[in-house]
Structure 1
Amino acid sequence: MSTDSLRGSFSVPWGHRTSHDSNPYTEAPVTQRTRRYDFNISRGVIAPDGYEKRVILVNGQFPGPLIEANWGDYIEVNVHNNILDQPQEGTSIHWHGFLQTRNVWDDGTPGVSQCPIAPGKSFTYKFRAELYGTSWYHSHYSAQYASGLFGPIVVYGPHNAVQDIDLGPIFVSDWWHEEYYATVKKVMSPGFEGRAFSDNNLINGRMNFNCSTVDAGDTTKCSNNAELSKFKFQSGKAHRLRFINSGAEGVQRISIDEHTMTVIANDFVEIEPYDTTVVTLGIGQRVDVVVKANQNPTGAYWLRSNLTSCSNAKQPFAFAAIYYDKANTKAKPVSTPWDVPDPGTCANDDLALTKPSFPIKLPEPSWTQNMDISVTRNSSGILLWQFGGVAARVDYNSPTLLQVKNNNFNFEPEMNVMNFGGNSSIRFIVNNPTPAPHPMHAHGANMYILSAGPGNYTNTPIVRPENPMRRDVQMVQPFGHVVVQIDSTNPGVWPFHCHIAWHASAGFFSQMIFQPDEIIRGYGSGSGSGPFVPPRVSQTCRDWDAFTKKVVLDQIDSGF
């Protein structure tokens, strides 16, 4: 990939645009550049914490390779499904947080915007970096990303704080030792009580593990004292760290011993900087911080990521080492953690603190939708998560988007489709009367975050309606609520779901149809009116149909 005009370049394509005076949704520069990547998806065996596990990886890497682009660039990724050993699986890649404006075909959601990529076949995604900051990509086929199929994305753009050194993306992630589908089978078994416990917690794909704690009879190869992730601080410099929670279930609390973090961005949204010692990060969320290296230049310090008390974890603590430029890198840090007790709420920082750099006034909603969270057991005794009263499921062979494209709006109830027609902005009131937290993620848009807190929503005042927080994932705490608003002007079928992998597997998602008339007309096709489906999308469905005629698909979960 060509890296000119990326990190470290003297001139930048966004010119004089800043995060304060440039609308990130309408003023992206026209760079006329396309950044191209090839992804080979296949199985492998790794031991990121010393315990060997069969996984699914991109280009044999864990985490997957970094995608880099400048604000306004296009990104093109040719994805090859080489999961050819047994059991063969489909796949797809979702580009988390990317708006995909008038480009829903590249959202990467099987059963919604495309058929899965069949084993031995390929699919090319192309989309624009309309926003800038830190994000990630991951499989959206069942809970497949929990097997290691994810990687980082950095889109360079304006920033609102002094930073001398960009240390790049840092994943924090709970980790299961069994294969992802074994966990799916447990979650979807009769009598399951609703809690699946992770075995470990990783920082940038590394941590150690006490092999003496494995279950009785487990003979899997395991080595103690696996290597930890390490980072370098230059004394006196300001370092940017881009944290991403890529886990399957757990909420993380991140801190650096004896260092204050200045928060500068949440998800793809630059915010007015504020200082903190701990940040809370739900699955799919990102936080960018700047840390001044103002401690002992010979010192070493622990970077900590702890799974919160409302997460399900056998071993919740992850560590990485930060060494100053004159430190002994062979010695373990001896540093003092911050004394900030876990509040047990799994809530994000107070909305009053998180103020977007570029102000956008909240529009009046054209529709308000109540979407309560609940659990139920079906006739087989399987525990299902309901969103708006429905436990959802996709049909891989018949994506919802193609059904809409064919002007067919007769949806099966289990698809959990909400057709918002030509509405301009939808307000969602989400009450969570369950003991579990949920990271709520919307595709195809940034959400305005209007209210979040304990108990059901009771018409409490909107937080800063002249410039509410915006992001693509927001935590709703146990026995709490969140109120969000989504501008529904981007034509497409867009998922709105909990990002806990096991909850989505058990039905916790919905599908939002925005501007269906434009979908049918074939926006952006150059064909005027009439149906338009990209040939690569049609071919992928033909390939998947051929595959599923030869192989009986073991779809025991929602598929999403």
Structure 2
Amino acid sequence: MNATWKVEPNKTYFVRLLNIGGFVSQYIWMEDHNFTVVEADGIYVEKNETSMIYITVAQRYGLLITTKNETDRNYAFMTAVDTTMLDLIPDALQLNTTNYIVYNEDADLPKPFPPPDTYLDDFYLKPLDNTTILDDADYTITLDVVMDNLGNGINYAFFNNITYVKPKVPTLMTALSAGELATNAMVYGSNTNSFVLQPNDVIDVVVNNKDTGRHPFHMHGHVFQLIERHPEVPDDQEHVAFNASDHAEWPEKPMHRDTVWLEPLSYMVLRFKATNPGVWMFHCHLEWHLDQGLAILLVEDPIGIQNDPRQQLNDNSKQICEKAGVPWEGNAAGNNTDFLVLTGENVQHAPLPAGFTARGIVALVFSCIAGILGVTCIAIYGMSDVNEEKVAQDLDVDVDMEESEDSETKYAEESCSSYAATSTR
């Protein structure tokens, strides 16, 4: 915001562009200058020239920007928030910002510049190494994205109705201590969404978005091939899920990187090869969506992890865990004698009840009784004879009851006479 980039004329700059935010994607464009994309998330790609970049949280781009020969004026360098990601827009939120490409410090700074009509779709980037699409998947992980409340009244994010809950023993340490049982996903807990991957398998991750928001997804430990991303589906339509027998044609040389966005109410398909033993997280990179549990764990080649001297715990690591109160061996529940017993593990809150709870029924019954009694008391009081003199005494009001009755009689007689006179005209 209000940044100044001093440039020299007729020069090509290599610029690294990173979105280090916690939420919104950004549109980036420049006045009368273009971007030439040559790298995405550390992967070199064939040159692709564009007038505007769309960059979601955690994405990185390498760009070539060539300056002009003339130095008589300066140019705007613009950013704008993707407002479709905002449920509401605070009055104080500045959606557009103007920055400055400065050729001439004596010239005026430029005014804001309107955006181009289109932006780069990273799906169409081609890897410079000409890597072709991997073979058909050996194992497919299908994930449905949902946002919903649980019984404690808090909103959570879910993959396949599971919101990630941290286990008592970190998953890498379970993999290291479980022996042959490390290949059984059960030892990692029922609320960690852990998937065990066999070495060198080709893995497809299918993500079906049942939410109306756009999500940036990031994978640790790998770059993946984005082999399909369905277009955005409007809010007033049903979500479109991946159909293995009816989908778009997959590219021969798909783009690969480690962070991509998923369109609302649609799906995407990622593909990678399990060649990196470790425990890797795949998660939404909107920070509070990760806090809400939108994550899975990929336990890749757990036996390979155990045989890798680089991933072993040394004595210092164990001492740190013990001082922090974190067990360094055992299953997700901390059980290091029977890894298949998960009693006492950390789990998500119970779902919202489908109907009234017992406490709700009791409250409803007593509310009804109180209402009936109240209405009954009002009815009895309303139909009973009222002793005006007694009421006046109770309210400490001095009223001459006889004078009051005479006044009421006189008012009634006058009203009748007035009405008779009016009706004869």
* Category of TM-score, reference length = shorter chain: 0.5 to 0.7
Change (3 A) 1:432 1:299: same
Change (3 A) 1:243 1:535: farther
Q: Is 2:277 aligned against 1:498? A: no
* 1:449 maps to which of 214, 226, 230: 226
* 2:57 maps to which of 273, 283, 297: 283
Matched ranges for 1:393-542 at <5 A: 393-395=165-167, 398-407=169-178, 409=184, 410-422=187-199, 424-454=201-231, 455-458=240-243, 459-465=246-252, 467-521=253-307, 523-525=308-310, 532-542=312-322
Q: Distance in 1 between matches of 2:50 and 2:118?
A: 14
Partner of 2:130: 359
CA offsets 1:320-348 (integer angstroms, 9 cap, x no match): 22101x3327x432364343278xxxxx6
Partner of 1:390: 162
Asked whether the equivalents of residues 16 and 63 of structure 2 are also in contact (C-alpha less than 8 Å), the reply is: yes
Partner of 1:320: 99
CA offsets 1:478-502 (integer angstroms, 9 cap, x no match): 1121100121121111000000001
Q: Distance in 2 between matches of 1:441 and 1:536?
A: 31
- The two structures, once aligned, show a CA RMSD in angstroms of 2.6
AA at the equivalent of 2:24? G
Asked whether the equivalents of residues 247 and 283 of structure 1 are also in contact (C-alpha less than 8 Å), the reply is: yes
For 1:511, what is the secondary structure of its paired residue?
strand
Asked whether the equivalents of residues 134 and 272 of structure 2 are also in contact (C-alpha less than 8 Å), the reply is: no
TM-score scaled by structure 2? 0.67
Deviation at 1:402, TM superposition (A): 0.2
Q: Distance in 2 between matches of 1:390 and 1:404?
A: 21
Asked whether the equivalents of residues 45 and 128 of structure 2 are also in contact (C-alpha less than 8 Å), the reply is: yes
Deviation at 1:430, TM superposition (A): 0.8
Matched ranges for 1:199-214 at <5 A: 207=1
Matched ranges for 1:157-176 at <5 A: none
Q: Distance in 1 between matches of 2:128 and 2:317?
A: 38
Change (3 A) 1:537 1:463: farther
AA at the equivalent of 2:133? L
**Structure 1 residue runs of 4+, over 6 Å off?**
none
TM-score scaled by structure 1? 0.52
Decide which structure has greater strand share. Answer: 1
* 1:267 maps to which of 29, 41, 45: 41
Matched ranges for 1:269-348 at <5 A: 269-294=43-68, 296-312=70-86, 313=89, 314-324=93-103, 326-328=104-106, 331-334=108-111, 336-340=113-117
Partner of 1:378: 150
Change (3 A) 1:337 1:241: farther
Change (3 A) 1:537 1:257: farther
Decide which structure has greater helix share. Answer: 2
Asked whether the equivalents of residues 256 and 337 of structure 1 are also in contact (C-alpha less than 8 Å), the reply is: no
AA at the equivalent of 1:413? S
AA at the equivalent of 2:224? M
For 2:49, what is the secondary structure of its paired residue?
strand
Q: Distance in 1 between matches of 2:264 and 2:76?
A: 30
Change (3 A) 1:239 1:532: closer
Q: Distance in 2 between matches of 1:417 and 1:464?
A: 29
CA offsets 1:489-528 (integer angstroms, 9 cap, x no match): 211110000000011010000000110111123x135xxx
Change (3 A) 1:367 1:321: same
Q: Distance in 2 between matches of 1:338 and 1:282?
A: 17
Partner of 2:358: none
Q: Distance in 2 between matches of 1:421 and 1:358?
A: 26
For 1:253, what is the secondary structure of its paired residue?
strand
Asked whether the equivalents of residues 258 and 336 of structure 1 are also in contact (C-alpha less than 8 Å), the reply is: no
Deviation at 1:440, TM superposition (A): 0.8
361-370 or 266-275, which deviates more? 361-370
Q: Is 2:141 aligned against 1:369? A: yes
Asked whether the equivalents of residues 78 and 97 of structure 2 are also in contact (C-alpha less than 8 Å), the reply is: yes
Q: Distance in 2 between matches of 1:357 and 1:445?
A: 18
AA at the equivalent of 2:33? H
Q: Distance in 1 between matches of 2:26 and 2:77?
A: 12
Change (3 A) 1:536 1:461: farther
Q: Distance in 2 between matches of 1:370 and 1:507?
A: 17
Change (3 A) 1:536 1:240: farther
CA offsets 1:434-471 (integer angstroms, 9 cap, x no match): 11111110000001110012233234244323x21100
Q: Any stretches of 5+ residues in structure 2 without a counterpart?
A: 232-239, 327-345, 350-425
Asked whether the equivalents of residues 258 and 335 of structure 1 are also in contact (C-alpha less than 8 Å), the reply is: no
Q: Distance in 2 between matches of 1:285 and 1:536?
A: 35
Deviation at 1:369, TM superposition (A): 1.4
AA at the equivalent of 2:105? A
Q: Distance in 1 between matches of 2:142 and 2:33?
A: 42
Q: Distance in 2 between matches of 1:321 and 1:477?
A: 32
Deviation at 1:412, TM superposition (A): 2.2
User: May I ask how many residue pairs the two structures share in their alignment?
Assistant: 309
Q: Distance in 1 between matches of 2:115 and 2:81?
A: 16
Q: Distance in 1 between matches of 2:128 and 2:28?
A: 23
Asked whether the equivalents of residues 391 and 506 of structure 1 are also in contact (C-alpha less than 8 Å), the reply is: yes
For 2:325, what is the secondary structure of its paired residue?
helix
Asked whether the equivalents of residues 429 and 457 of structure 1 are also in contact (C-alpha less than 8 Å), the reply is: yes
Partner of 1:254: 28
Deviation at 1:539, TM superposition (A): 3.7
Change (3 A) 1:411 1:350: closer
Report % sequence identity: 22
Q: Distance in 2 between matches of 1:390 and 1:468?
A: 30
